[in-house]
Every structure is written in structure tokens, then in C-alpha cells.
Amino acid sequence: MSNKVLISPSILSADFAALGQAVRDIDAAGADMIHIDVMDGHYVPNLTIGPDVVKALRPHSDKPFDVHLMISPTELLVPLFVAAGADYITVHPDAGPHLHRTLQSIRAAGVKAGIVLNPGAPVEQVDPVIDLCDQIMIMSVNPGYGGQSFIPSQLEKIAAVRAKIDAHVARGGQDILLQVDGGVNPVTAKACIAAGATSLVAGSAVFKGAGTYAENIAALRGDTANSKAA
């Protein structure tokens, strides 16, 4: 596994009137993935974007589209996001009755699959489906809104899932990205990386200043040589 921490800026914090430009800008600034938060106003109390927007953004970057589905039911809409150009699709175990089948269908379509553990979810949710996961996301805020503060108790969960992934790989299983989403900034990013995270989602911390995206991304990686952040 590479030691490089992947940065997936969340366009939820971008200017929605200029999303194509925002995607081009973070691509040029060194983002490894483009994180797209899909909310339905039902599973979470917010409404964001759908597959047509994902499709419209696809020509603006060759970077992997990291699509986080905060919708219920999930299974029926997965094919639309596959067709729109998603490279990763991450789903919530409690957002539909057939998690295993949903993950199977994502992978069968040639897209990488992942699950999300909400702050109140036990780490054991990983166990029955770890063979089907290319990514496991730890929510370090409650899903539904950007700009929330990091929940420190989730660091223990990151470490616990890191141990599960390492044991899985030691048994001959596939490697799995361990992603953290919510309240990630240069300070909390350092703690997440120390706990075992290999991918970080950040919205406000990346988009907080026009023209500083490269420095903001470098700060999340802890690359002080290329960052102006403390």
C-alpha cells in the first residue's frame, strides 16, 4: 500500500453556480479524487445533487469520482450513478435492506464499492461485507451537512477499522482505502492519519480560499513545505 494519503475534496463546499470550474481547479491543485455528496432529503436532512449533475461534471476531470450516496433506498439508484461516471460508490448499511447485493451490483458494474460507518454505528458492520469493500468510510460528523466539527471519539473507530483491514489483507484479502469524512482540517487530518486513515474527505478546509487550493490540500497531507497552513 502506498504511504501517500489521498485527498478527496468535497464539492459540497464549492460554489454550486460554478461546479465545473471548481472541479477543474481542485484537479489542478492536486486532488486525488473528487468527492461528491449525494443527499436526498430523506435519509439525511438535506438535498444536494443527482446523477445528471455527476454526468455533467464528468468531462471536467479525469480524477476518480468518489460518490457518497446518502440516499434511501440506495439499490435502485446505483445504476444511474454508475452510468453517470462514478468510479467509487459508497453506501450506508442502513439505507437499504440488501447491503450485500448492493455492493455486489456496484462491483459487477466495474465500479469500486464502499460502505460508511456513521458516528453511532458499530465497527462490526464491516465484518459481513469486507470482501466486497474497496473503501470504508468513517463519518466523523453526522451525515447531512457540511461545515460540522470533528467528533473525536471516531478516532478509536478509525483505529479499529484499520486493524480489521490489516487483518483482512494479511489473510490474502484485497487492500481497502480507509476514508474519513467530516470536520477534516490540517489538525484533525494529522490525528486521522495517525489512527490509520489513508484517504481524507475535506470540504471547507479545501475551498476556504480561492487561489489557495493547492496549499490547502498540501496542509491536509501534512506537507508543510508546500503549505502555508499551521
User: Which residues carry out catalysis?
Assistant: 37, 181
Question: Was 25 annotated as part of a binding site?
Answer: no
> Which residue has cell 481542485?
26
DSSP class of residue 196 equals T
Report the alpha-carbon distance of residue 145 to residue 37 in Å, rounded: 10
Report the alpha-carbon distance of residue 63 to residue 58 in Å, rounded: 9
Cβ contact 166:207 at 8 Å: no
Cβ contact 89:78 at 8 Å: yes
Question: Was 146 annotated as part of a binding site?
Answer: yes
Question: Was 209 annotated as part of a binding site?
Answer: no
Question: Was 120 annotated as part of a binding site?
Answer: no
Question: Was 166 annotated as part of a binding site?
Answer: no
Question: Was 35 annotated as part of a binding site?
Answer: yes
Q: How far is CA 170 from CA 5, 125, 173, 177, 199, in A?
A: 21, 20, 7, 15, 20
Question: Was 50 annotated as part of a binding site?
Answer: no
Report the alpha-carbon distance of residue 15 to residue 48 in Å, rounded: 13
Question: Was 145 annotated as part of a binding site?
Answer: yes
Which residues in 151-179 are b (16+ Cβ under 10 Å) and which e?
Answer: beebbebbebbbebbeebeeeeeeebbbb
What spatial distance separates the first Cα and last Cα of the chain, rounded to whole Å?
Answer: 28
Question: Was 92 annotated as part of a binding site?
Answer: no
Provide the pairing of β-strand 34-39 with 112-117: unpaired
Question: Was 110 annotated as part of a binding site?
Answer: no
Question: Was 204 annotated as part of a binding site?
Answer: yes
Give the residue numbers of the binding site. 10, 35, 37, 68, 144-147, 181-183, 203-204
Residues at the binding site for substrate are 10, 68, 144-147, 181-183, 203-204
| Annotation: binding site for a divalent metal cation | 35, 37, 68, 181
